[in-house]
Amino acid sequence: MSEVEKALPGNLGRARLVIITGLSGSGKSVVAKCFEDLSYYTVDNLPLPLLRQFLDNPLELAGGTDRIAVVTDVRAPGFAEELPRLFAEIDRERIEPRLLFLEASDEVLVRRFSETRRPHPLAADQPVIEGIRRERELLAEMRGRADMVFDTSGWSIHEIRSQIYREFASNPGEEPGMVVSLVSFGFKHGIPYGTDLLFDVRFLPNPHFVPGLREQTGQDEGVQAYLDRQPDFGELVGRLADLLAYLLPRYRRENRSYLSVAIGCTGGRHRSVAMAERLKAALEEQGWPARVIHRDISR
């Protein structure tokens, strides 16, 4: 056992390896990104000679992680003949392999190649369908050996991700968390790029016109105390918190990795800042960690 293997806490030196292969256009690159999101050490399009070396010392070459995903397909010379041999020769005492095979219908694959305008790797000078048929023949043996076969014909990217998370996450329900950003801003400086949800709080009384508060921000006690005396402020915090509590699980269900909630006032220093801070506290009480970005607070 290598020093890296010995150093892995609770690990007996047996790596969990997922080999991902299948038809061109069936979603292997999407699946590879899903494994990356699950903290697998992921390698896409690894040449077969390097794959053989990788399988000799997977834990060392993967930097010590025991969860590894490798994508390989007909782009690799000699793939159809060599991969079955490599798979059969895996040392099962050191590596726990699973072979995931991806496919889709001819009609769907032809459409996908047409949409991307990329040539099929086995039909550079022929119709795409000829390459698809040839590839099915070459991959027939590996499909028969597969532990799992996913037909992605009718799956969206979100459905592919859900299936990967369900089958390959270490713990039930494990999946990458959604990063929620609360961005305060001033409308006079423009709406933040990449906003998913936007709330305008300019109807609230503006502390900018209150003596002694103009130079403060929504992070200061004086501004917060002033806004707390406005009935609409507290009610708005509650209503927006309830709305986000309803929306966030539904966005997460669609496998969103990021959600940006923009809150705008005139200058981005008082009302929007205070609202973002209060919403952050309300969301965290409900179990939704959020980060706050005050884009225009220093302007």
Phi, psi of 95 (to 5 degrees): -135, 130
Token representation of residue 209? 């016109």
Pairwise CA distance, residues 246 & 113, whole Å: 39
pLDDT digits (tens, 9 = 90+) for 169-203: 876 555 566 889 999 999 999 999 889 999 999 99
Count of residues for the chain?
A: 299
Pairwise CA distance, residues 40 & 173, whole Å: 16
| Mean pLDDT value across residues 252-273 | 90
Instruction: Kindly provide the residue ranges of all beta strands, DSSP E only, lying in 72-224, ordered along the sequence.
Output: 95-103, 148-151, 179-186, 197-200
Token representation of residue 219? 């992070």
| Mean pLDDT value across residues 123-137 | 90
Query: Between helices 221-228 and 271-285, what is the axis angle to 10°?
Result: 80
How many Cβ atoms from other residues are within 10 Å of residue 209's Cβ?
9
CATH topology of domain 3-168: Rossmann fold (3.40.50)
Whole-number pLDDT of residue 187: 97
| Greatest mean pLDDT range, 201-205, 251-255, 290-294 | 201-205
| Mean pLDDT value across residues 74-86 | 83
What lies within 8 Å, CB to CB, of 93 at 6+ separation is 14
Percent above pLDDT 90 for the chain:
54
Token representation of residue 175? 């999946």
Pairwise CA distance, residues 117 & 113, whole Å: 6
**Residue 12: pLDDT band with limits 50, 70, 90:** very low
pTM more than 0.95 = no
Q: What share of the chain is helix, strand, coil (3-state, %, to 5)?
A: 45, 20, 35
Which residue would you say has higher pLDDT here, 123 or 279? 279
Between the alpha carbon of residue 143 and those of residues 33, 63, 92, 103, 235, the distances in Å are: 22, 30, 20, 9, 59
Domain locations along the chain: 3-168, 179-294
Whole-number pLDDT of residue 55: 79
> Would you say 139 and 23 are in contact if contact means Cβ atoms under 8 Å apart?
yes
Instruction: Kindly provide the residue ranges of all beta strands, DSSP E only, lying in 45-187, ordered along the sequence.
Output: 67-71, 95-103, 148-151, 179-186
